[in-house]
Amino acid sequence: MRIHLIAVGQRMPGWVEAAYREYAGRMPPESTLQLVEVAAEKRGRKADLVRIAEREAERLRAATPRGARIVALDARGRQFDTPKLAVRLSGWLQDGRDVALWVGGPEGLTDAARAEAELLWSLSALTFPHPLVRVIVAEQLYRASSIINHHPYHRD
């Protein structure tokens, strides 16, 4: 199974890229994590933000592998502690389908994009900058996989 972190936005700061690569590189071969960046729409003073979010959602869809389970990161989603995320990841591994994690742009995901997702996942009640979300997701997936594989990285 491959996990595709499909995120709106390109050209992240070096520390984001390095931290993401660090955790993605630790993922076991049975659940590799790959980042797919899709272009953000340009935003001007009088931008149609609804249309912008729709176009970004189209790019997320286009980057999603056929048959992949779609999990949308959204503030309205379910929160998991790390052990529960490990249970969820274990279920995804058993299912064998690829997983596409969608991270929208500054306006978030459209209602239609959220409706396409099999799961809405909220990382926290806090608001994080989009670059940091990539790092948090990669680290938490690695931590969940370490629980599954009885690796000592996660300590209760």
109 is in an annotated binding site: no
67 is in an annotated binding site: no
33 is in an annotated binding site: no
64 is in an annotated binding site: no
105 is in an annotated binding site: no
124 is in an annotated binding site: yes
Q: Enumerate the H helices of the chain as residue ranges.
A: 14-26, 49-63, 82-95, 111-116, 130-148
What amino acid occupies position 117?
A
Q: Give the single-character DSSP code of 105.
A: B
- H/E run at residue 74: strand 69-78
126 is in an annotated binding site: yes
128 is in an annotated binding site: yes
Mark the binding-site residues, compressed into ranges. Answer: 73, 104, 123-128
Mark the binding-site residues for S-adenosyl-L-methionine, compressed into ranges. Answer: 73, 104, 123-128
